[in-house]
Structure 1
Amino acid sequence: MNVRFIDTSIIMNLLEIPEKCQDREIVKNEFNKAIETGDTLILPVSTIIESGNHIAHIGNGSIRREKALKFKEFLENTANNKAPWQLYGTELKNDDLLYIAKEFPDKALTLNMGIGDLSIIRFYEKYKENVPAIGKIMIWSTDIHLQPYSEDMTMKRRRNK
């Protein structure tokens, strides 16, 4: 089983959000490939929040409305289990908040990384710990600072037995 945590940058390209979709063709092709191969797609709550914020700040009102309606469809499909991804990371617990608080100052300073990215990383790590039989797992992003989060867990699982 291959798992992809979807970052906001991917949603921006899938929705073709102005000035945030420079990689739309690559992302759409990879998205179609991921669906064809049966990858498990994970949509973190922070991706939803960040995506909604980006859409709300589109300068052109008619484009903002068009993209908001498309995103509304994404959200409804997610809630009704009709989307190609599943919602994950809906519960931020004290230990999650403490992890994010600890990491934030250094990550903000050295990588310009925000709370949304840190929460994606946190839930990516928790998913790896809690879900057995993962093959390859990654944070799927066009952001350079999130691309290193990719591992082949197949061999690690075998060695642990």
Structure 2
Amino acid sequence: MTFIDTSILCNLVPVPGFDQHRDEVVREMGERLNSGERFILPITAVVETGNHIAQLKSGHDRLTAAQKFDAVLRTVCAGQAPWILHDVAWDKAFLEQLLNGADTSTSYVEHAQARLGAGDLCILTERQAYSNRSRIRAGVWTLDEALSAHA
């Protein structure tokens, strides 16, 4: 089970200006699919990717990327492989886990000082919630150097 980071999702959609590694990501996605890997889109990746799309200067690019992103999200909603839809509560417990650094043993403040953002930490917190509930250890697929240290 693998959580998909924004850096990967933007290459899969693709989102112009955020898809510099598209060929590599698509190739690796094929390899992962062939090995039977399943994927979860964390809330952060959905929000950040949607924001990147909305901020594209070209109306044509915005429309094309939004339509492709819509198709991906509908596949997730339908529970079609390779996507797994999971529930996560945005509540006091989630925020406390985020502030405590999820399962990294490092606080949000320390992560921020080391340039790991709150969005990345939300992905790690969501992964921890999933793993606690399902008893399945999940990874994070990312191109982000700071996040990959905890993937």
TM-score (norm 2): 0.85
Does the CA contact (< 8 Å) of 1:74 and 1:83 recur in 2?
no
Alpha-carbon distance between aligned partners in 2 of 1:51 and 1:89, rounded to the nearest angstrom: 19
Matches within 5 A, 1:50-129: 50-102=48-100, 103-111=107-115, 113-129=116-132
Does the CA contact (< 8 Å) of 2:79 and 2:85 recur in 1?
no
The alignment's C-alpha RMSD in Å is 1.9
Hey, which of these two has a bigger chunk of strand by percent?
Answer: 1
Identical positions, percent: 30
The structure with more radius of gyration: 1
Alpha-carbon distance between aligned partners in 1 of 2:42 and 2:125, rounded to the nearest angstrom: 10
Does the CA contact (< 8 Å) of 1:12 and 1:51 recur in 2?
yes
Does the CA contact (< 8 Å) of 2:38 and 2:81 recur in 1?
no
Give the unaligned 5+ runs of structure 1. 151-161
* SS of aligned partner of 1:39: coil
* SS of aligned partner of 1:19: coil
TM-score (norm 1): 0.80
Q: Which runs of 4+ in 1 moved over 6 A?
A: none
Residues 149 and 110 of structure 1, relative CA distance in 2, 3 Å threshold: closer
Alpha-carbon distance between aligned partners in 1 of 2:130 and 2:88, rounded to the nearest angstrom: 12
